[in-house]
Amino acid sequence: MAAPSYIFTIRRVARMLAEDEDRLHEIAMDMEPEDGCLRVLDLDDDVSIEAFTAQGIENLRELLADLDPN
């Protein structure tokens, strides 16, 4: 499989999925890079944000569906 050429920040994914960013953050805490969830560092190395590959977004959708089976 080819490496992803772009990733989406958690804020963007929250908007795409019409979900609360804090809720996605809680779900993403258990995700690994193999699941499509990466941590991005900015200038302050102590702070990172979650970002997702396209596969990571699909994994989030599945996790959300499992939590809300409506």
Pairing of strands 48-52, 37-41: antiparallel
pLDDT digits (tens, 9 = 90+) for 1-52: 677 789 999 999 999 999 999 999 999 999 999 999 999 998 877 888 899 9
CB 11 within 8 A of CB 1: no
User: What is the residue extent of each domain of the chain?
Assistant: 8-67
What is the per-residue pLDDT for 24?
95
Q: Assign 70 a pLDDT band (cuts: 50, 70, 90).
A: low
Can you give the pTM of this predicted structure?
A: 0.86
Length of the chain: 70
pLDDT digits (tens, 9 = 90+) for 58-69: 999 999 999 887
